[in-house]
Amino acid sequence: VKRLVQTLSAISAAVLLALAASSPSVALEDGDVIRIIVPYSAGGGFDAQARLAAPYIEAALQENGYPNSNVVVENLTGGGGAIANMFVYSAEPDGTTLLMMDPESSIWLQTVGGAEFDVGEYGIIAQQSAEAMGVFVNSQLGFDSMDKLVERAQSEPLLMGTSGRGAVDHIAPLILQKMLSDAGVEFPVQYVHMSGVSDVMASMRRGEVEVMYATLSSTVAAIKQGVGDYLFTFEDHGPLADRWPHGRDVLKLPPEQVERLTAASYFRRVYTTPPGVDEELLQTLRDIFEIALNNEELIKKSADSNRPVMFLNGADAEAAIDQEIGLAKEYEEYLREQLQ
């Protein structure tokens, strides 16, 4: 009996000690640790940008009423981003668990993939970056104009590498194909689904993959090494064209199609909160992130690492994402058919 009493006392003491050490909080308070969940593995563009921004977000927090708070970046990978989305979507909306969202893939996971979350319900804090994508063509093909590329595609489908089925570099060219087809231009492509952009690039270096739908930042080194280049872009003026010095030809689509395709071809990185976050808390986070993401040092470092900040405040980022959700719904049936 004595041993039993001693045992129970020991267990009780351990339970009380451990419970005392962990009391959950319900709102953002000074001293809270803010976790930024990155849906992809460490080393990718999402991870790099989140880790680049984290110290500035932490500094902005500490200078604006949360002197003891910290920011940590965690990678919660799997399911093409679905696992991180599910995790944050169901987290407490107390401002301590944020998602660095890839809206395009998340929208696809929701609409066509059937994942159980709603992108429209997230609280949008800010956009850190948005990179336009275009068709990167293997220089080994020897083409110098879009017409020749289309001609070749019509005689034999182009082998287009993607970073995975359903990824943004698969969805956007599918929409491009549909828009071109609606405009009377057939652009046959055979997709080769690989495991990330670097795999596609390696395949291109070996002369296997002929084209890929890529961001400029992921292809800068390859352009320098003569692996490939962009033969066309979607518009000849505005901020997109300024970021796109390599496009030689302008794709001839109706202006409204260009605008929609451009929206579908942006590769955005947006910070979000779980649904149901308090308006005041969301505004606080928006203010802190606006200060952090407009830090000159961060802007310079981002530009130097070829991942420039393209800041949008919460309201503007929300409007851009709503436009993409609308586009995804418009093409939902077509994409479902193509993907399944």
Binding site for another protein (CB under 8 A): 3, 6-7, 9-11, 13-15, 17-19, 21-22, 33, 35, 37, 41-43, 47-48, 51, 72, 74-80, 82-83, 86-87, 113, 115-116, 157, 159, 164-166, 190-196, 198, 202-203, 205-206, 208-209, 339-340
Identity of the residue, 7 or 154, whose beta carbon is nearer to another protein in the bound complex: 7
At its nearest, how many Å lie between another protein and the CB of residue 83? Answer: 6
Q: In Å, how far from its chain's centre is CA 21?
A: 37
Identity of the residue, 145 or 305, whose beta carbon is nearer to another protein in the bound complex: 305
Identity of the residue, 202 or 250, whose beta carbon is nearer to another protein in the bound complex: 202
Cβ neighbours for 313, distance < 8 A, ≥ 6 positions apart:
126, 286, 290
Identity of the residue, 108 or 311, whose beta carbon is nearer to another protein in the bound complex: 108
At its nearest, how many Å lie between another protein and the CB of residue 72? Answer: 5
Residue type, 297: E
- DSSP per residue, 202-257: HHHHTT---EEEEEHHHHHHHHHTTSEEE-EES-SSHHHHHT-TT--EE----HHH
Helix (H) or strand (E) holding 6: helix 2-21
At its nearest, how many Å lie between another protein and the CB of residue 79? Answer: 3
Cβ distance 132 to 320 under 8 Å?
no
At its nearest, how many Å lie between another protein and the CB of residue 140? Answer: 13
At its nearest, how many Å lie between another protein and the CB of residue 219? Answer: 13
Closest to 137 in 3D by CA, of 145, 126, 128: 145
Cβ distance 338 to 171 under 8 Å?
no
Identity of the residue, 148 or 193, whose beta carbon is nearer to another protein in the bound complex: 193
